[in-house]
């Protein structure tokens, strides 16, 4: 079995274990059901795979980093649920099925996101290695997910809805919305392995390159991707008059930048002594992803 598939299967099992199906008698069961609906329904698992891979690259036992990997996927899933709600993007489809609020209603979707966000920190703090690493991992996740990271990026997005945007502001938005959580994913893998500061910095450079390329590819797929493969509607940025790299720079330049940022990620791996093949191929694969 290839490594990415092995990692994804282990992540799937660990997520299922962290959030088991509620019993029909459970009075709080509905929120657990709504959380499971979005968390266990697929998704590429890019962020948790990165956590396990960086742990391994830094000489740790990758499956020991599963609490961190699950935590970052829980934060990511909460952000998707909230982002899809009518008060934000009002999307109908996600991960190939109706969005959480279309199934459970707005109030329950809000709670499902809240439940996943808080469960993420409970899960990260359950890391069973060095207790200091558990704290450091949880702190990094909080910093990257919060108002100076992903929430801040979403704030720029909401404020600029429909308006003209500079490339600098777009970059600041994507550093928050997309790069920050990918940074947490890579950094938490290093922390789980007890890596040195220099490796954390190199992981941050990898995350920046991969995250920017990932967002550019997302913008490209919104224009020329297939809704069926993506599991969500396409053309949404244009329909909402939202600026992105393609609208500001054109398709060709956006594709050139995907290459440039991917190479930045690959170069950052030089800071690690171990076998870098998996993380190099992972970055190259995401640069040409179709979903």
**Site residues for ligand GRG per CB under 6 A:** 43-44, 46, 76, 79-80, 82-83, 95, 150-151, 154, 177-178, 215, 218
**Residues near 169 by Cβ (< 8 Å), separated by ≥ 6?**
156, 160
Name the minimum Å distance from CB 43 to ligand GRG.
3
Q: How far from chain centre, in Å, is Cα 126?
A: 20
CB nearer to ligand GRG: pick between 79 and 99: 79
Phi, psi (5° rounding) for residue 53?
-70, -40
CB nearer to ligand GRG: pick between 64 and 231: 231
CB nearer to ligand GRG: pick between 61 and 240: 240
CB nearer to ligand GRG: pick between 8 and 276: 8
Name the minimum Å distance from CB 179 to ligand GRG.
9
CB nearer to ligand GRG: pick between 50 and 193: 50
Which residue is at the shortest CB distance from ligand GRG?
Answer: 43
Rounded CA-CA distance 178/161 in Å is: 17
* Beta-ladder partners of 97: 94
Query: Is residue 118 classed as helix, strand or coil in its secondary structure?
Result: helix
Name the minimum Å distance from CB 41 to ligand GRG.
9
CB nearer to ligand GRG: pick between 29 and 105: 105
Rounded CA-CA distance 228/158 in Å is: 27
Name the minimum Å distance from CB 192 to ligand GRG.
21
Are 239 and 169 in contact by the 8 Å Cβ rule? The answer is no
Name the minimum Å distance from CB 211 to ligand GRG.
9
Rounded CA-CA distance 131/128 in Å is: 7
Question: Computed from CA positions of residues 67, 70, 179, 216, in that sequence, does the dihedral angle turn out positive or negative?
Answer: positive
């Amino acid at each position: 079995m290839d490594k990415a598939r092995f990692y994804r299967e282990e992540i799937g099992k660990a997520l299922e274990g962290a959030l088991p199906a509620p019993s029909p008698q459970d009075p709080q069961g509905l929120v657990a059901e709504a959380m499971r609906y979005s968390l266990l329904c697929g998704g590429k698992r890019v962020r948790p795979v990165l956590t396990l891979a960086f742990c391994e690259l830094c000489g740790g036992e990758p499956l020991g980093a599963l609490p961190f990997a699950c935590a970052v996927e829980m934060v990511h899933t909460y952000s998707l649920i909230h982002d899809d709600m009518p008060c934000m993007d009002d999307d109908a489809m996600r991960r190939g099925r109706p969005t959480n609020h279309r199934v459970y209603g707005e109030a329950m979707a809000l709670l499902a996101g809240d439940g996943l966000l808080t469960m993420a920190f409970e899960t990260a703090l359950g890391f069973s290695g060095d207790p200091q690493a558990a704290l450091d991992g949880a702190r990094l996740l909080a910093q990257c997910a919060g108002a100076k990271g992903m929430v801040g990026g979403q704030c720029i997005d909401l404020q600029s809805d429909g308006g003209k945007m500079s490339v600098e502001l777009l970059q600041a938005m994507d550093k928050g919305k997309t790069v920050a959580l990918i940074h947490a994913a890579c950094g938490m893998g290093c922390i789980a392995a007890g890596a040195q500061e220099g490796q954390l910095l190199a992981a941050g450079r990898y995350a920046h390159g991969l995250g920017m390329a990932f967002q550019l590819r997302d913008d490209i797929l919104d224009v020329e991707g297939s809704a069926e493969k993506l599991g969500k509607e396409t053309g949404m940025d244009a329909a909402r008059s939202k600026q992105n790299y393609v609208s500001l720079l054109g398709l060709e330049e956006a594709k050139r930048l995907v290459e440039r940022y991917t190479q930045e990620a690959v170069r950052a791996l030089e800071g690690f002594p171990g076998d870098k093949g998996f993380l190099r191929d992972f970055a190259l694969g995401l640069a040409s992803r179709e979903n």
